[in-house]
Structure 1
Amino acid sequence: MFRSSHFRQRFCDQILVKGSDNRVQHYHFVNINLSWTDAQTYCRENYTDLATIDNMEEMKRLTESVDTDYTGEAWIGLKKGTSWRWQWSSGEGVNNWSLPGGWTCSVFFPSNCFYGINATWNFTLINQQIKWFAAQNYCRHSYTDLATVRKKEDNDLIHKMFNTSWAWIGLFRDTWEWSDLSNSSFRNWKMGQNDSVGTACALAQVTWPGTWDMTPCDEKHPFICYDDNLILVNRSMTWNEALNYCRTHHSDLASVHNEEIQYWVSRRAEKASTDHVWLGLRFSCYLNFWFWVSAENVCYQNWAPNNISNSNLCGTTGAVQSKDPHYWVSLPETKELNFICTKCPSKADPRTQYLQNCHKCV
């Protein structure tokens, strides 16, 4: 037991000291003028898709990815659709415990901002009569965002804290859709954008704060793609078969080392056809602890509450739930599930190849 616990702690200490970049999603600025549809095709052929942004932190990372002198606008993966949908300003999904009839966003109300991440909220009433978009902009610059009301208890808390008839929260409705079919509700529109225009796509300013314009999709602009290192394989295999498949066709079964990777793994797992999805997680009977097949120990953990014991785990491997809350569970390695692979990064620069192909056509 001393050997296994000592080895585990030493391994985790080494990972913390190393400080490697474990980001799953990477943005790529492409300084080629294309229409939105052609930019989408380019990104899908050379990366994953046009950029999807989930929150202000990602928006900042996107602007920092543009390492040229270009300071204009670039296409992102947002296009106007036809189906109306309720969404939160913070980018979280909407729980259907209560949906309003709706107010027009041009009405003047006070607003509720919040500090906090995940389950920790501190609501603050801003007693200024302003429009919804102005309230959103104020909250993002001075707090975190307009209030996200996750459950009835949050709603009751707001009513008890503030004696006011109406106040803006972060709930809004629009028809915009992401190219990769993500359900992200994050929006960062410039003030005064007219959402009544017909076919339109989103252009993002590549300098901070990266606000967005609505523009006809046939205009030609540079664009931003994203690439990630995770691939969901919608085929059911045993854990060993999945491991061999990933190592043959990609790189390896996925390892999860922090909350950001867990977030992206969860997004991939939601599209699986099985209740659980294999990860590159295995239990060592000899050393009596879990390890990743990428030769790293399990430092970050997200086990289901009833799955924390190390007893009788020989022959078991790790999977993630395909639905919320996306906990890890131990399952027999003979069970057949979908799985997530990590992808080998491309060494070739697709921008150079694209320009060479265009030159051949001229």
Structure 2
Amino acid sequence: MNQLFTFILLLLNLSGTFTKYIYVDQKMGWLQAQSYCRQNYTDLAPVSTKKDVNKLKQLSSNVNHSIWIGLRNSTMDQIFTCILLLMRLFGTFTKYVHVNDRMNWPQAQSYCQQHYTDLAPVSNDKDDNKLQQLSSNVNHCIWIGLVRNCSNRTQWLWSGGGVASTFFWRPGEPNDFNGNEDGGCVWNKMWNDEKLQNQKTFFCYGAVVVKEKKTWEEALEYCREHHDDLASVASETEMLLIQKELSKHNTTEHVWIGLRFLAGDWLLVDGQEMDYEAWGEEGKPSCSHAKIKCGALQVTGGYKAVWDANDCEERLHFICY
């Protein structure tokens, strides 16, 4: 990956002990950045602990692009391990869209299904934090894809499919006031149940099927240039939503997703945790072959899909958000 990024370096004091990181706001290739750091300081920055990660976050809180660190896999011809790791640490995924038009819950659901994929599911606290970032200036509760199961009012479902299992209710919620609060909304990272007919702005979830055949790395680059990222599949509901999009298209038998084998394990390159996995019958691959390190969905008729490890140089369709 011949790209230019700014970078973070490591500075040692005279005794050779760790002192601090320095962010260099000049764009260079990885080798140029390495040479610059060794000539003017000590080296490109290593990342060993969570404390290191937090320092890097503080240094680059206002940066909206990838930043080189001192990570390189010498067995790979192209240096992009460091990019993927840093994207994971900083969690830059933006699969959500805040629609600033007020609608009731069924209208919002219809709008999202027509213009994006569906009303937004929330799988974990990282998702909840992202919604907060997207709506920091909003002072009302915003619809998400959470709806009460009409046949079991103690159970909540996601609009895109699947049973909700992680919740961020405000204290005292859900209270089902007057027995008709069947929709879920979020404000300041806390959820309320409200009447479906209430008018609110809302969050949509959007997945985009790209029917251009590219290698995994080319697909990643395309998604980050034209959309936001190569799509992850972080929950059962997100799998159902992506399958829904795939059902609208005739695609290659496999389609690339943002799943990559790095540093001895599989990770989602948009920074989400691997709380959900959907490997096929053979289970999670150990990746003994050097090239079989990129994740794809194995699609059958556009309706069913499981994860599979593929040759990163294979040219496939892919999914962005």
Between Structure 1 and Structure 2, whose CA radius of gyration is higher? 1
> TM-score, structure 1 length as denominator?
0.43
Q: Bigger relative contact order, structure 1 or 2, given CA contacts below 8 A and separation 6+?
A: 1
